[in-house]
Structure 1
Amino acid sequence: MKVSPSIFRLYDIRGIAGEKFEKKAIEEYEKWYGKFTGINITPEVAVAIGKAYGTVIKDRGGKKVIVGHEIRPYGEELKMQFIKGVRSTGIDVIDAGVSLTPIIYFSTAFYKLDGGVNVTGSHNVYFFNGFKTMAKDVYPIFAEELQKMRKIIEDESYAFGEEGSYEEKSVIDDYSKYLLEHNKLAKKLKVVVDSGNGSAGMFAPKILRDLGCEVIDLYSEPDSSFPNHVPDPEDVFQMEDLMKKVKEEKADLGIGIDADGDRCGIVDENGEFVYADRTLLLFSKDILSRNKGKKILYDVKCTRLVEDLVPEFGGVPLMHITGHAPIKETMRKDKDIIFGGEVSGHFYHAEDYFRIDDGVYSAAKILSLLSQTDKTFSQLIDQFPKTVMTPEIKLPCKDEVKFKVVKDLTEYFSKNYETITIDGSRIKFSATSWGLVRASNTSPYLTIRVEADTEEEVIKIKNILADQLEKYPEIADKLDRRKVTSHTGRLGFV
């Protein structure tokens, strides 16, 4: 069967889903992604992906998996077609219904299943959908394994067997019970929860109420058109309503959850956005107080303070490439990693959880930590040194161009500067300043981030990077040299 190679991305399967595409949607797609190339995840493709996934699980000796779906157009239909394909290979399937990605992660580990899949488009706009796939122990199926699935589909070399069984099962009670048993509040807290009209709104507010919080709902009603903002909790521009609401309600904290629930973002009691790598420092200090000598994993986009402070906390810092799949893989191979975090808001808990990224679990953990002190969240964060840092600047760049840009910049800057190349090019301009250019592995853009001691230094480094980036016509007109925060857009290109 012929299938679009483009849907098999590095960390998951993702594409344009459905049976028809309206003119308005095509116009919106082309505004950001270039010429519309057509729907590439149809119900027929979903069946084929299910067959390929079932084949991979069967080859690993697996027998039973769990599958859920996020609320968005065609989500349930794609799930049912996918399940049809999986069952045709002889694999038994539990249908979790509407779910969150971390609930599927949890279920795979908690019930000791042989795999799990969530049908999700994550925080992407409504016409995207796809499949996050994992094997036993929530071991990610990604990269070469996804290409293996593609080859199985193209060759139609599926496993066959007696049709696998099918059962519907709600797992939310077990998930909630586990979360509440492992997180306790020492005092009641008032929190605003912004679910961004994603599926997280069906679960996160109730769980945090059961934890003992007074919860103010913001955009909890699922609506996959995302009418208020894109549910990306690490894009400060998508968090503006949450920032205002926290101040209005005089809340202790604001928490944003992305559409499929595996990431969270934090707003302090003053309505100020808190970067995820600063929250990572707070988590690290707390966790290492009980786990001396363990490793803290952090992605290449994080502040230099992680490398500086984690040893002071009693741990070992480990810089890593960005991405939930390779991070989960590394944390399964290296049991000394007690915690991990990314600038994107993925936090991976190993102390009392399954080494998975879970936005709701992370929110509960943060609230538990905050409740045990008389300090405000801003005071907890302000214990760490301050630097000047840009947000994660997302610069639109076509897939066929972005990797060449990074390669060229690496060659140029490595001649005169110390350059870390584990994921893109992180250029060390001084002992306290650096700039990063990397190609996103999931979307058509470059990621830029800069850190220094002063805003003047940050702007200087941005301009040094811009001098090289403007050589490429595809991105030259999108550069803004003047501001630390620049280039905003509906899809969170900042």
Structure 2
Amino acid sequence: MSHSLSKDIFKAYDIRGVVGKTLTLDAARLIGQALGSLAREQGVAALVVGRDGRLSGPDLSRSLSDGIRAAGVDVIDVGRVATPMLYFAAYELGTLSGVMVTGSHNPPEYNGFKMMMAGGTLSGDEIQALLRRIETGELATGDGGYREQDISAAYLDRITGDIKLARPMNVVIDCGNGVAGAFAPTLYRRLGCKVRELFCEVDGNFPNHHPDPAKPENLQDVTVALAKTDAEIGLAFDGDGDRLGVVTKEGNIIWPDRQLMLFAADVLERNPGAQVIYDVKSTRLLAPWIRDNGGVPVMCRTGHSFIKAKIKETGALMAGEMSGHVFFKERWYGFDDGLYAGARLLEILSRVEDPSALLNALPNAVSTPELNIKLSAEGENHALIERLQQSARFDGAEEVITLDGLRVEYQDGFGLARASNTTPVIVLRFEADNADALERIKANFRQVLAAVTDAELPF
């Protein structure tokens, strides 16, 4: 028997849609059964299931679990957790497989599934294969078991057993009413911090600001709290707790590629010669920094599933991407975890008297935030980037990297245009040694883009 459902929800890194419209309870059950069928083929007997703080989480989680069990696979339900806690449970409980019901940083009406199977993160073709399996009705049947397990104590114990602060820290944490709010205050207090909480009540309506630390406007409340209080550093988390935002005492945002400099220097001190992975959106100052600190820089495509695959392939001890996902293989499991990354950051900062001075001193360049060209149709962004890769010429470019879109390196900066894997958008980013160079690079890209699209350019 074959089934039909919205194809648009099957994205590059996860499954995601509008609850009740493109992502229904029936769809969740079918996806569960497809995952259960895949699990059986791979010899996986149980899947861990967790959910974030979204209002639709309990119902979707139930339907997903029913589907998994209908395929003859057991469900271990870890309840309401941050995404990294689901990954932790998959390792600790020995399944190496699980599904997180999360809408990450999307608006409240969205939800979705991040999926891990036999130690690997499902992405790309593997996610499309789930859709084909549902459409053709190739679904196993059986009667899987169900049990609930609380893993929060084990998770907090594991981190507090690993991280030791040199002195008590005084921090502001902003959880944006995302699920990290249920765990972050406890974690940082246990590490010996004085914690000032902002929006740590889990509320799927996100009444205060959107839980996405990649956008400067969502860090305003942290900035104000740092200015008004004696707190020395600010940490902010996204909706499902796998990304970290950092703000200094005087309100400077330390973007994730600069956070990675500090983390890399720390890891390389203990592991000279180790590889450090970063994505194509990251600063050009990162590779020389990694080399100067005795490491080997490795550029990778953007996307948490691609980074995890690259960690597996290379044996790298550390990775990070511009969106705020940070991956520690040294002392940790190699998955992205905003709460753990925050703890590692405080461990480093607690060794100095002035944490903001240490962060502000990291190499910096003149840059734009992530800019988006919105296109009308799904897939249009990929077609446009392919056309550019074949025909575009960039004046004065030293190198054009086509690993993920076009990253054009100049002597004094770089420009990036790549297709988003989640929405019909072209993602742009520019960086240079000075403002004049930045404008020149932007003008070069403006000219090239205007030749292939009449979409409005955001720069």
Q: Identify the TM-score tier after normalising by the shorter chain.
A: over 0.9
Shift of 1:317: 0.1
CA RMSD of aligned residues (A): 1.5
- The 1-side partners of 2:190 and 2:406 are apart by 44
TM (norm. structure 2) is 0.96
State the 1:275 CA deviation.
1.0
Out of 42, 57, 62, the residue aligned to residue 44 of structure 2 is 62
Distance (Å, rounded) in 1 between the aligned partners of 2:363 and 2:324: 20
Unaligned runs of 5+ in 1: 19-38, 481-494
Matching residue of 1:8: 10
SS, match of residue 357 in structure 1: coil
Q: How does 1:301-312 map to 2 (within 5 A)?
A: 301-312=281-292
* Separation in structure 2 between the aligned mates of residue 395 and residue 280 of structure 1, nearest angstrom: 27
Q: What is the SS of the residue equivalent to 1:289?
A: helix
What is the CA–CA distance in structure 2 between the aligned matches of 1:385 and 1:199, rounded to whole Å?
33
Contact residue 375 and residue 425 of structure 2 kept, 8 A:
yes
Contact 2:233 2:356 (8 Å CA) reproduced: no
Matching residue's letter, 1:108: A
How many angstroms apart in 2 are the aligned matches of 1:409 and 1:133?
A: 33
Name the amino acid aligned to 1:136. Answer: A
Whether the 8 Å CA contact 2:236–2:245 is kept in 1: the answer is yes
1:134-173 to 2 correspondence within 5 Å? 134-137=116-119, 139-161=120-142, 163-173=143-153
Per-residue Cα deviation, 1:100-159 (whole angstroms, up to 9, x for no partner): 11000111112211411110000000111110000123x101111111111110011111
Partner of 1:189: 169
* Aligned match of 2:241: 261
User: Equivalent residue for 1:116?
Assistant: 98
Question: Do the aligned partners of residues 245 and 396 (structure 1) sit closer, same or farther apart at CA in structure 2, a change above 3 Å counting?
Answer: farther
1:17 pairs with 16, 19, 31, which one? 19
Aligned to 2:196: 216
Separation in 1, partners of 2:303, 2:40: 26
Q: Counterpart of 1:369 in structure 2: which amino acid?
A: I
SS where residue 356 of structure 1 aligns? coil
| Matches of 2:165 and 2:228, distance apart in 1 | 23
Deviates more, 1:218-227 or 1:113-122: 218-227
The 5 A counterparts of 1:52-451 are 52-137=34-119, 139-161=120-142, 163-335=143-315, 337-374=316-353, 376-398=354-376, 399-414=378-393, 416=395, 417=397, 418-428=399-409, 430-451=410-431
Deviation at 1:470, TM superposition (A): 3.9
TM-score with structure 1 setting the length: 0.89
CA contact (8 A) 1:413 1:427 kept: no
Q: Quote the Cα distance in structure 1 between the aligned partners of 2:104 and 2:220.
A: 20
Identity across the alignment (%) = 37
Cα shift at 1:472: 5.9
Tell me, in whole angstroms, the C-alpha distance in 1 between the residues paired with 2:237 and 2:68. Answer: 30
Partners of 1:302 and 1:239 lie apart in 2 by 20
The structure-2 alpha-carbon separation of the partners of 1:474 and 1:206, relative to structure 1 and needing over 3 Å to count, comes to: farther
Give the 3-state SS of the residue equivalent to 1:273 in structure 2. coil
Structure-2 separation of matches of 1:363 and 1:156: 44
Specify the SS of the correspondent of 1:124: coil
> Which residue identity does 1:390 align to in structure 2?
T
Cα pair 1:397 1:474 within 8 Å, conserved? no
Gaps of 5+ in 2: none
1:23 is aligned to none
Contact 2:258 2:363 survives alignment (8 Å): no
CA distance in 2, matches of 1:114, 1:211: 28
- Within 2, Cα distance between the matches of 1:107 and 1:447? 34
| Counterpart-to-counterpart distance in 2, 1:474 and 1:88 | 49
State the AA in 2 paired with 1:64. Answer: A
SS at match of 2:17: strand
Structure 1 residue 363: deviation in Å?
A: 0.3
Tell me how far apart the structure 2 counterparts of residues 186 and 378 of structure 1 sit (CA, whole Å).
16
Contact 1:410 1:419 survives alignment (8 Å): no
Q: Which moved more, 1:93-102 or 1:458-467?
A: 458-467
Deviations 1:209-230 (A, max 9, x none): 1111111111112222222221
Letter in 1 for 2:55: P
Tell which deviates more after alignment, 212-221 or 403-412. Answer: 403-412
Match of 2:458 in 1: 479
Counterpart of 1:373, as a letter, is: V
